[in-house]
Structure 1
Amino acid sequence: MASEYTTTEYIQHHLTNATMCSVDGEIAFNKACGDAGFWAVHVDTLAVSIVLGLIFLFLFRRTAKKATTGVPSKFQAFVEIVIEFVQDNVTSTYHGKSALIAPLALTIFVWVLLMNLMDLVPVDVLPAIAGLVGETAYGMDSHDVYAKFVPTTDLNLTFALALGVFVLIIYYSIKMKGIGGFAKELSMSPFNHWAFIPVNLVLELVTLFARPLSLALRLFGNLYASELIFILIATLGYVQVFLHFPWAVFHLLVLPLQAFIFMMLTIVYLSLASEDH
C-alpha cells in the first residue's frame, strides 16, 4: 500500500481521520468538509471506541454471570486479576468513600487499554480493508477512504475522556466541600488572606484546568508518536519486517502503562477533590 503513495502522502493518509460533516444540509466526507471545524465528526474514532467499549462490557458482564466459586476458567481468572489489581490501586490511593470510583477506574483502565492495543495491528491492514469496502460497496477511490483505527491517537477522544474526569472533579469538590467551601479553596489557598484572592484564583484555576489538559495530552502524545513510528517503519519496505516486531514488543509494556497512568491520575485527582479539608 505504501508504494501507491509518496512517503509524505502515505503518512498524511494514515494520520487523517474519516471525517463526516454537514455542508449545505447534505452529508459530506473528509475533503468536502473543508473548514467545518467543530461540526465535523470523526466517525472512525467514534465507531472503534464504541465497539471496543461494547466488547469490554459484553466480556466482563458475561464473565460475571458465569463466574463460579470452583475452578475458574482462564478468562475468569484473568478478569479477577484485573479487577483485584484495579481495586488494590483504588484502595491505596482514594481516601474517601464512593461506590463509583472502583468501577470508573476499571472502565477507564480496560477501555483505554483496548483502544491502545489497536496500535499493535499492522498499520496497512485495517485501512486497506476500509479502502476495499469503500471501493466495492460505494464506488469510491480507495485513496479517498480515510480511517484511523487507534482512537487514542485522536485528540478529540482523549480530551473527551479528560473532560469527563474534569466534570467528576468539580462534582466531588462541590459534593464534599459545598459550593462555598470549593470557592474558598480556590480563593484562599495557598495564601490565606483576602488581599491575595486574585493571585490564589490564578494559581488554583491553572492547577485545576491543568489536570484534564495533562491527562488528554499525555495519552494523545504517547499514542500519536507511537503510531507515527509504526507508519514510518511501514515506509521502509521489506526492512520493516525486522523493525516492526521489536517496536511492537516494546509496546506491550508502553500501551498498558499509558492506560494505567490515565487510571491512576484519575483516582488521584478525584481523591484530592474528595478531601473535605
Structure 2
Amino acid sequence: MASEPQGGLTEYISHHLKHLTPHVSPEGFWAVHLDSVAVSLVLGVLFCLWFWLKARKATAGVPGKGQAFVEIVLEFVDGQVKDVFHGDRRILGPLALTVFAWVFLMNAMDLLPVDLLPWITEKFGLGHFRAVPTADVNMTFAMSLTVLILIVFYSFKAKGFGGYMHEMFTAPFGKHPLLWIPNFALNVVELLSKPVSLAMRLFGNMYAGELVFMLIAGLFSAGSWLLYGMGIIGYTVWGIFHVLIISIQAFIFMVLTVVYISMAHDHH
C-alpha cells in the first residue's frame, strides 16, 4: 500500500503533504493547488450527474434502490433546513444539499489508499498529488468565503442596505453615537469569525485524519510482518471510524451554513 522513499517515515509524510502546483503559482495561502481543484471539480460533476440521472428516471411508483437513497438524502437535508430556516427554501435547500454531498464526497477521498492516486498521477509525470481537497486549507477557506458572501448577500436582501448598516452600528450595545465604533468592530469580528471557524474546523479534522492514514501506511514499508499486520488492522479500524468523522464534518458544515444564512435574516 505504501512505497516509502529513502529518508524514512518523515520524508514519506512530507512527500505526501506536498500539493501539485503550477510553476507560476505564488507560495502560501494564495497558491493554486491543482490537485485539490481537480479532485473537487470531478467530484462535483459526478455528484450533479448522479442526482440528475436519478431525477430524470424518477417514478411515482415503488422507487428503486438508487432513487430511494437519493430521496432519503433529499428528505434528510430538507428536514434540517426546515428546522433551522423558516423562510423561502427554494434556494437554500439545494444549496444545503450541494454543500452536504460535495463536502462528504471530498472527505471520502481520505478512505482511498494513501499511495493510490499519487501512484497513478506519477505515471503521467506528476510528482505530487493529494487526494483530499478538504485537507487543504486553501480549499476549505475558499468554500467558507463563499458562505461569507452568501451571508452578506442575504443580510442586505432581508434588511436592506440601511437596515443592515443600522444593525452593524447599533447592535448589540445600543444606538448611542459613542457606541457605534465598538458595535461595528464587534459585528465585523463576529462576521469574519464565521468563515474562519467553518474552514478551520473542516480542515483540522480532515488534515489530522489524513496524517493518521499516512502514519499507518508507513507501517507497511517497515519490513516487519508484525508491523504489516498492525498496519492492516489499524487501517481497517481507523477507516471504519473515519467514516463517522467524514459524515459528521459534512453535516456540521451544511448545518452551520444554513444557520449562518438564517441568522442573516434575523433582526436584532
TM-score where L is the length of structure 2: 0.92
Q: How does 1:132-147 map to 2 (within 5 A)?
A: 132-134=123-125, 145-147=127-129
Q: How many residues align?
A: 257
Letter in structure 2 aligned against 1:126: L
Tell me the alpha carbon deviations over residues 38-97 of structure 1, each in whole angstroms, 9 at most, x when there is no partner: 664211111100000000000000000000111211011000000000000001101222
8 Å CA contact retained: 2:135, 2:206? yes
Closer, same or farther in 2 for the Cα pair 1:275/1:39, shift >3 Å?
A: closer
- The correspondence for 1:214, drawn from 197, 205, 208, is 197
CA distance in 2, matches of 1:254, 1:95: 29
Partner of 1:3: 4
Closer, same or farther in 2 for the Cα pair 1:247/1:38, shift >3 Å?
A: closer
CA distance in 2, matches of 1:276, 1:36: 41
Q: How does 1:84-99 map to 2 (within 5 A)?
A: 84-99=75-90
Partner of 2:224: none
User: Gapped runs of 5+ residues in structure 1?
Assistant: 23-32, 135-143
Say yes or no: does 1:120 pair with 2:111.
yes
Say yes or no: does 1:75 pair with 2:63.
no
- The correspondence for 2:35, drawn from 44, 55, 59, is 44
- The correspondence for 1:160, drawn from 130, 142, 145, is 142
Q: How does 1:3-22 map to 2 (within 5 A)?
A: 3-5=4-6, 6-22=8-24
User: Gapped runs of 5+ residues in structure 2?
Assistant: 221-227
Query: Residue 120 of structure 2: SS of its match in structure 1?
Result: helix
Task: Using the TM superposition, give the Cα deviation of residue 263 of structure 1 relative to its aligned residue in structure 2, in angstroms.
Answer: 0.2
Letter in structure 2 aligned against 1:243: G
Task: Using the TM superposition, give the Cα deviation of residue 37 of structure 1 relative to its aligned residue in structure 2, in angstroms.
Answer: 5.0
TM-score where L is the length of structure 1: 0.89
Say yes or no: does 1:204 pair with 2:204.
no
Task: Using the TM superposition, give the Cα deviation of residue 202 of structure 1 relative to its aligned residue in structure 2, in angstroms.
Answer: 1.6
Letter in structure 1 aligned against 2:118: P
8 Å CA contact retained: 2:20, 2:33? yes
CA distance in 2, matches of 1:98, 1:235: 47
Task: Using the TM superposition, give the Cα deviation of residue 130 of structure 1 relative to its aligned residue in structure 2, in angstroms.
Answer: 1.3
8 Å CA contact retained: 1:21, 1:39? no
8 Å CA contact retained: 1:21, 1:40? no
Partner of 1:227: 210
Letter in structure 2 aligned against 1:165: V
Tell me the alpha carbon deviations over residues 155-186 of structure 1, each in whole angstroms, 9 at most, x when there is no partner: 11111110111001000001111111111111
Q: CA RMSD in A?
A: 1.5
Letter in structure 2 aligned against 1:8: T
8 Å CA contact retained: 2:81, 2:89? no
CA distance in 2, matches of 1:147, 1:243: 24
Task: Using the TM superposition, give the Cα deviation of residue 36 of structure 1 relative to its aligned residue in structure 2, in angstroms.
Answer: 4.5
CA distance in 1, matches of 2:30, 2:251: 32
Identity %: 50
Q: How does 1:50-65 map to 2 (within 5 A)?
A: 50-65=41-56
Letter in structure 2 aligned against 1:263: M
Partner of 2:130: 148
CA distance in 2, matches of 1:254, 1:211: 21
